Amino acid sequence: MRIALIGGGVEPIPPTGYGGTERFIADLESALRTAGHDPFVINRVRHHRLRDEYPFAWELPRLLRAERYDVVHANSPVVGNRLAGQRIPYVYTTHSRHWYYRERLSHRWGYWLERRAVRRSAAPVALTAPLAVTIRGAVGSTRRPIAVIPFGVDLERFRADWGHRSGRTAVGVGVVAPVKRWEVAAASVRGTGARLVLVGPTPDPEYANRLRAFGPEVELTGEVSADELARRLAESDLLLHPSRVELLSGAVVQALASGLPVVGGPAVAAAIEDGRNGWSVDDRDPAAFEDGLRRRVGELVADPGLRRTMGEAARASAEERYSWPRVVEQYLELYRAVAAGPPSPR
């Protein structure tokens, strides 16, 4: 099949730094090609601003007319609504945190666009089963049932390096910003014997300095290369992920593939089997959340056998659920259905 994978016009694909949706599109393109298909990316980046999605979406129908394709796969709401307005059927994977996080007017606008893009798509995709339930409650009926397809992980790139693990390194991956709640992670390693290494860009100097004030048990590496990220994960002992905004975090999936138990809040629950490959800690009470994270980190630091058992289970769960060949086959089923035409009325 020839598959048009549509970017958002904000960041390049593949991303030059961090960019979850852009990384997903780049990796999906590679996996589809490995599976013997003919994917291509359409994406025009102007000024790296969120509002750049609007002129890109306006231009998109013209760009598509110059291409031959069997199916279109969109990943951002302005693009999805533009395609719907031109009556171009599209598969739609929703990556928006606005299903759960809407504190500003701009968030509520994004939420309205996201619901509309899902409702008008030929085949909507949620990254997790809990998200599919949330979408159904917010959107109502869709042309096809909401498919649940996670993103995949490169199981060769991300794997454990047991021989270089210290037994006390908790790693956190992602932008160093308050929405990730890294201050909770920093507080939760105190008294456990663990050190926290935060890997990711630091756009907010004031917040970064708040974290450094926790002392030498907290290290901020800044943004690193893809190879360096894989090495950091391979040599760490657990992933701390207190963020409250992700639908399915790429860092969590990569950590599982790297043989890391994952400890976090409800945002990790869809990927975690409590007590097998990590723990999801209730975050409704902030003090209890911090204490719960600290207790789980302490258990892992104190017990090498538990770290190894849970790390091996983490790797097994990545192999079972997140390998790219498995993910690609699920998408191909949707692509074929959309290419065949609209579903019969229900």
Q: Per-residue pLDDT tens for 126-175?
A: 999 999 999 999 999 999 999 999 999 999 999 999 999 999 999 999 99
**pLDDT for the residue 16:** 78
d(CA 253, CA 260): 10
Instruction: Report residue 102's pLDDT band, with 50, 70 and 90 as the boundaries.
Output: confident
The stretch 311-340 carries a mean pLDDT of: 97
Per-residue pLDDT tens digits for 237-250: 999 999 987 778 88
**pLDDT for the residue 344:** 56
Residue 189 near residue 240 (C-beta atoms within 8 A): yes
d(CA 177, CA 197): 15
**pLDDT for the residue 18:** 66
Highest-pLDDT range among 45-54, 299-308, 336-345? 299-308
**pLDDT for the residue 1:** 95
Q: Work out the percent of the chain whose per-residue pLDDT is above 90.
A: 88
The stretch 255-283 carries a mean pLDDT of: 95
Per-residue pLDDT tens digits for 194-225: 999 999 999 999 999 999 999 999 999 999 99
Same topology for domains 2-152+323-339 and 162-321, yes or no? yes
Locus of tokens 């949706």: 21
Instruction: Report residue 191's pLDDT band, with 50, 70 and 90 as the boundaries.
Output: very high
- Decide if pLDDT at 66 tops 80: yes
Strand ranges of the sheet holding 218-222, from the earlier edge strand across to the other edge: 218-222, 195-199, 169-173, 238-241, 262-264, 278-280
Residue 267 near residue 240 (C-beta atoms within 8 A): no
Amino acid at 268: V
Domain boundaries, the chain: 2-152+323-339, 162-321
DSSP string, 123-174: EEEESSHHHHHHHHHHH---SSPPEE----B-TTTS---GGG--S-EEEEES
Name the more confident of 125 and 15: 125
Q: What is the pTM of this model?
A: 0.90
Per-residue pLDDT tens digits for 19-48: 789 999 999 999 999 999 999 999 999 988
The stretch 309-329 carries a mean pLDDT of: 97
Q: Comparing C-alpha atoms, which of 99, 105, 101, 104 is closest to residue 118?
A: 99
List the CATH code of the domain at 162-321: 3.40.50.2000
Residue 105 near residue 136 (C-beta atoms within 8 A): no
- Decide if pLDDT at 283 tops 90: yes
Question: Which residues, in sequence order, are bridge partners of residue 222?
Answer: 199
Candidates 3.30.365.10, 3.30.420.40, 3.20.20.100, 3.40.50.2000; correct CATH number of 2-152+323-339? 3.40.50.2000
- Decide if pLDDT at 327 tops 70: yes
DSSP SS3 for 341: coil
Q: Which two tokens stand for residue 5?
A: 């994978």
